[in-house]
Amino acid sequence: MTLRGHWRHWRRNLGLTLILLFFCLLGPIFNTPTSWLITDFAGVALIFSGLSLLWPLARLKITTDRQPLRAHSHVPISLLLEGPGFFASLAVRQGQQIYWRGAYYGRTRQLIWPNHLDRGIHQELPLTIQAWDLLGIATKQRQVQLSRPLIVGPATEAGLSQALLDGLADFVRRANADDTTPSFDLESLRDYRPGNPLHSIDWKVSARRDKTTVRKNRPEQKPQWAGVLLGTPGPAFEALLGAFTTIDQETHLWQRGFYLGTKPLIQPSWTQLAAWTTSTELPTRLPDTLEQTPAVIVFSATPMTFAAASAHFPKQKLILVCVAPTTLTISTNKQQVQLQWEVA
């Protein structure tokens, strides 16, 4: 507990305290029923004021059902303050900004707090619970502890996500056109029906069967792509992680996404994404499913040459994307393009 005067009210609070102390002395001095009544009243007021700070603030908990959250979403979070206690005046604040203030008698209180959290698993919030005594002179405070961790995943990064999708569309389309070849593998044979195109007739089979027969081949096979995020540190890493996660979860640019860091992740949970950290060294061995994927789009927040990326993925068709603040570079063995993106 600290004695902390409120600059605008400290004179009034100090005056009230001195008056109560003076009233406490009336009984012993005058020793009359009236003086003792005044003394008792003043003593009760002082005791009541002191007791209001005896309740431990650690027993107060703040909870929220808002899960999961994205970093820097600025979407207000509804918080519940609850727990046993009796405080003549209680406030939940962040710096000078007060989000709730009033008397607290163990009843659940609701407050709204804007989300300014970074990605991670948060055991506490940048909020302070502060309590005052009845007279508003003595106060104590502590950092807000959450009853359960708050999981905050990567930001959406809509601007970078759209810039990546727009920039990669032409590269992927050209790569698919280069690798796509007609398939002549037989899927089925059936009798010719009026209206079937003539080029679908298999004349050799028709001659052997003595019946006009239509041949259906397996459809053309396009190369399967994998999105690969390199967990190397860089000034745009958080933005790239948010954009990569958005594309991985909400589009079909590739069949599977890989997160290569200290520990490779495939289809990570929201908690794993919240806790994922950068690594200066890439895994020496790629996951088997990644090695078997014929084409990869590699994303890096660290400047990297196409030759260096090819050394890590020597067997696959490769598109390299390097992201820096406000710019991104897309490279293949044939071309390189640099584009601009706006920070949200």
pLDDT band at 344 (very low <50, low <70, confident <90, very high): low
pLDDT at residue 133 is higher than 50: yes
* Amino acid occupying residue 127: L
Q: Provide the pLDDT for residue 221.
A: 52
pLDDT at residue 192 is higher than 90: no
Lowest mean pLDDT among 2-6, 17-21, 90-94: 2-6
CA distance 17 to 20: 5
> How confident is the model over 256-267, as a mean pLDDT?
88
CA-wise closest residue to 261 among 236, 278, 241 = 278
Q: Which residues contact 57 (CB under 8 A, 6 or more apart)?
A: 85, 129, 131, 140, 141, 142
Q: Which residues contact 275 (CB under 8 A, 6 or more apart)?
A: 120, 121
At residue 39, what are phi and psi to the nearest 5 degrees?
-60, -45
Q: Provide the pLDDT for residue 6.
A: 42
At residue 124, what are phi and psi to the nearest 5 degrees?
-145, 165
pLDDT band at 214 (very low <50, low <70, confident <90, very high): low
Max mean pLDDT range (43-47, 234-238, 285-289): 234-238
CA-wise closest residue to 146 among 169, 167, 171, 129 = 129
Cis bond leading into 219, ω under 30°? no
Q: Provide the pLDDT for residue 7.
A: 42
In tens, the pLDDT along 290-313 reads 888 899 999 999 999 999 999 888
Contact criterion met (CB below 8 Å) for 103 and 87: yes
Number of neighbours of residue 168 by Cβ within 10 angstroms: 23
Domain 2-153 has CATH 2.60.40.10: yes
Q: For residue 157, what is the DSSP state?
A: -
In tens, the pLDDT along 321-341 reads 999 999 999 999 889 999 998
In tens, the pLDDT along 264-280 reads 888 899 999 999 988 88
Q: Provide the pLDDT for residue 184.
A: 46
Query: 74-100 b/e with 16+ CB inside 10 Å = b?
Result: eeebebebbbebbbbbbbbbeeeeeeb
In tens, the pLDDT along 224-257 reads 899 999 999 999 999 999 999 999 998 888 999 9
Number of neighbours of residue 58 by Cβ within 10 angstroms: 11
pLDDT band at 218 (very low <50, low <70, confident <90, very high): low
pLDDT at residue 159 is higher than 60: yes
Mean pLDDT, the chain, integer: 82
102 Ramachandran zone, left/alpha/beta (phi>0; psi -120 to 50): left
Q: Provide the pLDDT for residue 4.
A: 45
Q: Are strands 213-217 and 186-191 parallel, antiparallel or unpaired?
A: antiparallel
Contact criterion met (CB below 8 Å) for 289 and 316: no
Q: Provide the pLDDT for residue 121.
A: 92
Q: Provide the pLDDT for residue 1.
A: 40
> How confident is the model over 96-115, as a mean pLDDT?
88
Domain locations in the chain as residue ranges = 2-153, 158-180+222-340, 186-217
Kind and range of the H or E element at 65?
none
**Quick one: angle between helices 158-179 and 237-250, nearest 10?**
60
